[in-house]
Amino acid sequence: MMRLYVEGIGLLGPGLDGWSASRAVLAGEAAYVAAPTNLRASDMLPAAERRRAGVPIKLALTVGQEAFLQAGRETKSASTVFTSSGGDNDNVHAINGILATAPREVSPTRFHNSVHNAAAGYWCIAAGSHEPSTSLCAYDASFVAGLLESATQVVVDDAVVALVAYDHSYPEPLHSVRPITTSFGAALILTKQQSAKSLAAIEVEFRSGKAPETTMKDEALEDLRKGVPAARVLPLLAALAAAKTTQISIDYLEGNHLDIRVTPC
């Protein structure tokens, strides 16, 4: 079991435009109203990089910046873990189209945005960070993989870690094969020691075998949780929003799961 503290939260999804605006909804104190995800380019980036930024970059930087602002930490002060089931899905679609026609000429911008750690690269430019960064992919379990990696770094290395999870839809025909319903991103600032900024303690434990997965009470939020890999974080965010001691379970790979106990500070 690994114990760590949450200092800051970032959130962006359909009808969830930031943590502060969404907290009452996730706590069950206000009705959820679905709306298109409010994607925008972060003002952290220079103008040239903003023009090149695709959906995953916008998601990652927006939620990362919000989490750091809430924690009161400088963006360059923490290690980062970025996790996504696909990366830049629009760019994958475009490159596949280019390679299926002549001439097969992929622009340098498309190429460097196609790598899975592109979001990490843009973040390091925007944040002026020289701290370690990890980029992960674990299909539907990408959020859990990112949380396990982040918790390990926090507990073993005594690092402050920003966990950033994001996903967005593929265009057709890829969407028919790998349906991801919408754009969604979330970020957590995680520390080993409790501070005046700590919102809650979370105890994370890997468990072998299946267990009943924690779901969202609101039907539309449950559809979002099931429809976007990064949105598997929603039960954890709901527990943090409710500010009550809560036990949740999230599925992992090969029939295993993660038990998470949330205790407000």
Structure tokens belonging to residue 59: 């998601």
Contact 165, 84 (CB under 8 A): yes
pLDDT: which is higher, 149 or 46: 149
CB-side exposure of 65: number of CA atoms within 13 Å? 21
Alpha-carbon gap, residue 133 to 74, rounded angstroms: 16
Alpha-carbon gap, residue 192 to 244, rounded angstroms: 20
For residues 91-100, give the mean pLDDT.
90
Alpha-carbon gap, residue 68 to 64, rounded angstroms: 6
| Residue 157 within any structural domain of the chain | yes
Contact 170, 88 (CB under 8 A): no
For residues 207-231, give the mean pLDDT.
97
Would you state the pLDDT for residue 43? 87
As a dihedral over the C-alpha atoms of residue 237, residue 265, residue 242, residue 184, rounded to 10 degrees, the angle is -20
- DSSP-assigned states of every residue in 51-93: HH--HHHHHHHHHHHHHHHHHT--GGGSEEEEE-SSS-HHHHH
CATH code of 28's domain: 3.40.47.10
Would you state the pLDDT for residue 112? 79
Bridge partners, residue 262, by sequence: 202, 246
Q: What range does the domain containing 160 cover?
A: 2-197+215-244
Alpha-carbon gap, residue 151 to 190, rounded angstroms: 8
Would you state the pLDDT for residue 136? 97
Give the range among 44-53, 69-78, 126-135, 188-197 with minimum mean pLDDT.
44-53
| Residue 15 within any structural domain of the chain | yes
For residues 234-252, give the mean pLDDT.
97
Alpha-carbon gap, residue 168 to 93, rounded angstroms: 13
Asked if residue 48 has pLDDT above 90, the reply is: no
Asked if residue 4 has pLDDT above 90, the reply is: yes
| Residue 171 within any structural domain of the chain | yes
Mean pLDDT of all residues belonging to the chain: 95
Would you state the pLDDT for residue 207? 96
| Residue 206 within any structural domain of the chain | no
| Residue 256 within any structural domain of the chain | no
- At 13-38, the pLDDT tens digits run 999 999 999 999 999 999 999 999 99
| Residue 253 within any structural domain of the chain | no
Would you state the pLDDT for residue 114? 87
| Residue 93 within any structural domain of the chain | yes
Let me know how long the chain is: 265
Counted domains in the chain: 1
| Residue 264 within any structural domain of the chain | no
pTM above 0.85, yes or no: yes
pLDDT band at 70 (very low <50, low <70, confident <90, very high): very high
Give the range among 79-93, 94-108, 213-227 with minimum mean pLDDT.
94-108
DSSP 8-state secondary structure symbol assigned to residue 193: S
